[in-house]
A and B are shown apart, each in its own frame.
Chain A
Amino acid sequence: MSGMDTITPLAPGTSTRSPPPRVRRISGLSDRAVVWLFIAPTMFLLLAINIFPLIWAIRLSFTGFMANLPRPLGFIGIDNYVDILTDEDIWTNFQVTAHFVFWTIVLQVLIGLALALLINQKFRGHSFWTTVILLPMMLSPAVVGNFWTLLLQPQIGPFNYFIGFFTGAAPSSFTMIGSVSLAPWTIVMVNTWMWTPYVMLICLAGLRSIPEYIYEAAEVDRASSLRQFWSITLPMVTPFLMLAVLFQAIQSFEMFDLVNLLTSGGPGSTTELVSITLKRAAFEKWQTGYASALAVILFVTVFGAANIYVKLLNKVKQQ
């Protein structure tokens, strides 16, 4: 590691105004040793438990290996990729996932931003109610998925009664989980319920970052409140909103736990997200090679999309 030679103690940073004094130490480890000692364990752990498996998965994706059979790897080239990309069912799963991600994001952004704007009116007790609203996102998604199955039971669950009370529909006349047309919306609804607070919290930070004098200047110019919203609030909040969307899009795209317990992909495959397909291929059908190829596709998609998005985000920030 010849690059290590460039390590100097304390380059002037944001908090130092004058260059740091050169310090001679009589005993103790050199700074170079300290930095190595401090960073290496983390790097080693990440390489062993994240990168090594990833590389292995890439290797496996070119084989017909099945983890439950004691067989050699058996390289089959890009067959797995060809199989996946020409499989109608997989495309259906990607469509289901896209529907889920898209509507989750739309609803989260609309409701989250609206809530943030309302909370920013600083009514009495707003900080207490903000904390109450945050609760769902702190819970375990798996446990949330599980307990919503009780709430959504058409007969014994309270949800259908709640809806019936407001719409007049008979509570047992519809089933949120068992119906082909409703189930894709059910997973959107529960995920939105859980993660809207996330978007709200980030939007709230965005709103609070807007300096007051901008609004004061706008008042002096007699700009209407609507005008102020469109030309001050919204543009200033957009970078924050985009960050929230990035995190939520990645998370929804990789969604497994909540939906696995809520609908386990059913009825039929109407809520079968890609990660549920992946789990089934890997741990139920034991098509390890095939599942690895799907995993690589999933990872490349997330990583590629995230990279493009971050570039976009940086452009917006600069404006």
Chain B
Amino acid sequence: MSDAPSHRPFSEPAPILRWLAGVIVVTYALVSVLPIAWIGMTAFKSQSDAIAYPPKVFFTPTLEGFVDLFTVQTHQPHDFIVKLPPPTSWYEKLARDHDKVIAGPSRVIERFVNSIIIGFGSTLLATFLGTLAAYGFSRFKVPLADDLMFFILSTRMMPPIAVAVPIYMMYRYLNLYDTRIGMILLYTAVNVSLAVWLLKGFIDEIPREYEEAALIDGYTRLQAFRKVVLPQAVTGIAATAIFCLIFSWNEYAFNLLLTNSEAQTMPPFIPFIIGEGGQNWPAVAAGTTLFLAPIFVFTIALRKHLLRGITFGAVRK
């Protein structure tokens, strides 16, 4: 984190101003990650610590929340628990400490698997289609190219809730309701607009001379695309793929309305992680933490391309 070499000899800020700016920004950063940190902490609290009044900052960490998240438990009388054979695993012991017996795994694993399959499936498909279309728009004179590109962008402007009704009816009719393939197709359609816009920007930046040289050397257009353009567009394709993945991973409205169990992903599921008598906050927080963790990794991986991704390639650094 070294300082960038100063570019502005004239308007260089005074050291005290620079220091003050740093203090304000760091304070903002700390306050703004506080909510996320609190959820991360709650994941490791016991249920009584999580709903303590006043809220507890210092507590003894426990994995109860994670055990509650991944298992279904039943309450048993204490006498019954004492008579059982000794627990065979640490998580069983943890449950029995609270007079509970583990009855089996919870549905959260299926939801995670759905999130992963739908996320990766739609990302692969959207990136694949997007790369082809972006190459087409970047290198050839497509009739009405500007209009088509605007059309592609405008599909993203539609409020999801507004198109959800007819999509719901269409999916019912085609038996795609509550199926993974239905969700993959839908997310692909939403993501492909972003993919085309971003990738067109990336491919535009690759000099055409390389391909032309390859074509002269006797490559066909497809060979030139595969062996010359693709390798050079790898960074852009990877960045685009991560953006698509983040969208599919985070999406809520379509999944809420177009699934009810088989193809449900994590975002509509997390609010329904309920314990006895209200939400089991440590379990909710544990689910949230596991769900958000990959996003932190992606954010760091994407740092350089973030700006492009969030503005559809309109702003490039």
- Interface residues of chain A, those whose CB is within 8 Å of chain B, are 1, 3-4, 6-11, 13-16, 20-21, 23, 25-31, 34-35, 37-39, 41-43, 45-46, 48-54, 56-57, 60, 67, 115, 118-119, 121-129, 131-143, 146-148, 150-151, 155-158, 161, 171, 193, 198, 201-202, 205, 208, 212, 215-216, 218-220, 225, 228, 240, 243, 247, 250, 253-254, 256-257, 261, 275, 278-279, 282-283, 288, 291-292, 295-296, 298-299, 302-303, 306
Do A3 and B25 form a contact, CB below 8 Å, given A139-B292, A275-B159, A299-B159?
no
Do A295 and B11 form a contact, CB below 8 Å, given A20-B212, A124-B22, A247-B311?
no
Q: Which of B25, B35, B285 contacts A126 (CB 8 A)?
A: B25
A39 near B136 (CB under 8 angstroms)?
yes
B314 near A243 (CB under 8 angstroms)?
yes
* C-alpha gap A1/B304 in the complex (Å): 41
**Per-position binary interface string of chain B over residues 267-297, scored 1 when its CB falls under 8 Å from any chain A CB and 0 otherwise:** 1101100000001010011001001100110
A25 near B54 (CB under 8 angstroms)?
no
Whether B18 sits at the interface, judged by CB under 8 Å, is: yes
Residues of A within 8 A of B188 (CB): 45
A133 near B142 (CB under 8 angstroms)?
no
Do A282 and B208 form a contact, CB below 8 Å, given A38-B132, A146-B271?
no
B208 near A20 (CB under 8 angstroms)?
yes
B165 near A288 (CB under 8 angstroms)?
yes
- Interface residues of chain B, those whose CB is within 8 Å of chain A, are 1-4, 6-11, 13, 17-19, 21-22, 24-26, 28-29, 32-36, 38-39, 42, 50-55, 129-130, 132-133, 135-137, 139-144, 148, 151-152, 154-155, 157-170, 185-186, 188-189, 192-193, 196, 204, 207-209, 211-212, 215-216, 218, 220-223, 225, 246, 249-253, 257, 266-268, 270-271, 279, 281, 284-285, 288, 291-292, 295-296, 298-300, 303, 306-307, 310-311, 314-315, 317
Do A133 and B32 form a contact, CB below 8 Å, given A38-B135, A299-B162?
yes
* C-alpha gap A39/B271 in the complex (Å): 40
B163 near A143 (CB under 8 angstroms)?
no
Q: Is the interface of B mostly helix, strand, loop or mixed?
A: helix
B221 near A135 (CB under 8 angstroms)?
no
Residues of B within 8 A of A288 (CB): 165, 169
* C-alpha gap A216/B314 in the complex (Å): 28
Residues of A within 8 A of B251 (CB): 140
A29 near B221 (CB under 8 angstroms)?
yes
How far in angstroms is the closest Cβ of chain B from A61? 10
* C-alpha gap A246/B220 in the complex (Å): 42
Q: Is the interface of A mostly helix, strand, loop or mixed?
A: helix
Q: Considering the complex, give the chain B residue whose CB is closest to the CB of A114.
A: B24
How far in angstroms is the closest Cβ of chain B from A266? 15
Provide 11 A-B residue pairs closer than 8 Å at the C-beta atoms, listed in order of the A residue: A31-B221, A35-B140, A45-B189, A129-B25, A136-B35, A142-B270, A143-B288, A193-B32, A254-B159, A256-B161, A278-B162
A10 near B267 (CB under 8 angstroms)?
no
Closest 6 CB pairs of A and B: A28-B220, A123-B22, A142-B252, A295-B162, A140-B250, A3-B143
How far in angstroms is the closest Cβ of chain B from A7? 5
B295 near A124 (CB under 8 angstroms)?
no
* C-alpha gap A52/B25 in the complex (Å): 47
B163 near A295 (CB under 8 angstroms)?
yes
A158 near B165 (CB under 8 angstroms)?
no
* C-alpha gap A10/B306 in the complex (Å): 30
B222 near A138 (CB under 8 angstroms)?
no
Do A49 and B298 form a contact, CB below 8 Å, given A25-B215, A133-B32?
no
Q: Which of B17, B208, B252 contacts A140 (CB 8 A)?
A: B252
A138 near B252 (CB under 8 angstroms)?
no
Q: Considering the complex, give the chain A residue whose CB is closest to the CB of B165.
A: A282
B11 near A228 (CB under 8 angstroms)?
yes
Residues of A within 8 A of B215 (CB): 23, 25
Known A54-B166, A140-B295; 9 more pairs at CB < 8 Å: A23-B215, A41-B132, A56-B170, A57-B166, A122-B4, A143-B267, A147-B285, A151-B38, A219-B10
* C-alpha gap A132/B51 in the complex (Å): 28
Residues of A within 8 A of B300 (CB): 131
Residues of B within 8 A of A1 (CB): 143
B35 near A140 (CB under 8 angstroms)?
no
* C-alpha gap A142/B8 in the complex (Å): 43
Residues of A within 8 A of B152 (CB): 42, 46
B29 near A133 (CB under 8 angstroms)?
yes
Do A49 and B189 form a contact, CB below 8 Å, given A10-B208, A151-B35, A250-B157?
yes
How far in angstroms is the closest Cβ of chain B from A60? 7
